[in-house]
Amino acid sequence: MKRLRLIFLTPAAALLAGLFVAPLAILAVYTVLTRGAYGGVSAPFTVENWMRLADPLYLAIVWRSFVVAGVSTAICVVLGFPLALFIARSGARKNLYLALVMLPFWTSFLVRTYAWMFLLRDTGLINTMLLAMGVISEPLPLLYNWGAVIVGLVYGYLPFLVLPLFATLERMDPALVEASADLGAGPWQTVWRVILPLSAPGLRAGAILVFIPCLGAYLTPDLLGGGKTILIGTLIQNQFTSARDWPFGSAVALGLMGLVMVLLWLHARRGGEPLV
């Protein structure tokens, strides 16, 4: 039995060790080396890369990333809570609605982000329609700004909030909602005093699942922000490409990972449920 378990575990363990742990270890070593002239790394060892993270220039980027991720997460919560509640209480159609929530995953995220560009650009669907209807006389600047980035992030990560929240809401005893009404609480008060507190674990899990990828997002800010919007993800990408500063890029990447792990630890400490 024990032997069989070992056999089954080995492929996954080997894959993780080779393709996840080893690269991370290499990355960790990079962070304390000096940048090479044409990329790569060279001696000597230094802690300078970590010190540079405290540079106000980079702190501003980290702060901005937190704000963008925070705003996106907040919008996801505001949109996702009613949606999850609606799906959880829609009886036989539940599975259909869940399938619709997951439908976007059937196509590549890149393709869907390009679709947003076609919608938002000056000659895009929205502007063309508004112009044709005479609502506006010149195109609205919808693309290549923070608004577009947040729209893209909310769109992309909303399902990650809805699914765990739905799971929590569905497990909730419907008699609790009835008991609340029975004791005199109106629908809004029931949401506020019963449903929301009881769905907090799912809400927190969902918020973390949205916040973390938003914090490190690269594709969406790059395409919808038009490169004018530097976030942590863009910063890391720049260090490994145009700036040719692999050690610093590694330090930023590991720093971000550390932050994420602190968030997860806080979630677990508050009795949070597993994220997947």
Which residues bind to other proteins, rule: CB under 8 A?
173, 175-176, 178-187, 189, 193-194, 197-198
Least distance (Å) from other proteins to the CB of residue 78?
22
> Of the two residues 200 and 257, which places its CB atom closer to other proteins in the complex?
200
Residue 34 dihedral angles phi and psi, to the nearest 5°: -100, 150
> Of the two residues 55 and 178, which places its CB atom closer to other proteins in the complex?
178
> Of the two residues 179 and 261, which places its CB atom closer to other proteins in the complex?
179
Between CA 233 and CA 150 the distance in angstroms is 14
Do residues 31 and 49 make contact, with C-beta atoms less than 8 angstroms apart? Answer: yes
Least distance (Å) from other proteins to the CB of residue 186?
5
Least distance (Å) from other proteins to the CB of residue 70?
26
Least distance (Å) from other proteins to the CB of residue 85?
17
> Of the two residues 134 and 271, which places its CB atom closer to other proteins in the complex?
271
> Of the two residues 6 and 181, which places its CB atom closer to other proteins in the complex?
181
> Of the two residues 42 and 90, which places its CB atom closer to other proteins in the complex?
90
Least distance (Å) from other proteins to the CB of residue 92?
13
Least distance (Å) from other proteins to the CB of residue 171?
12
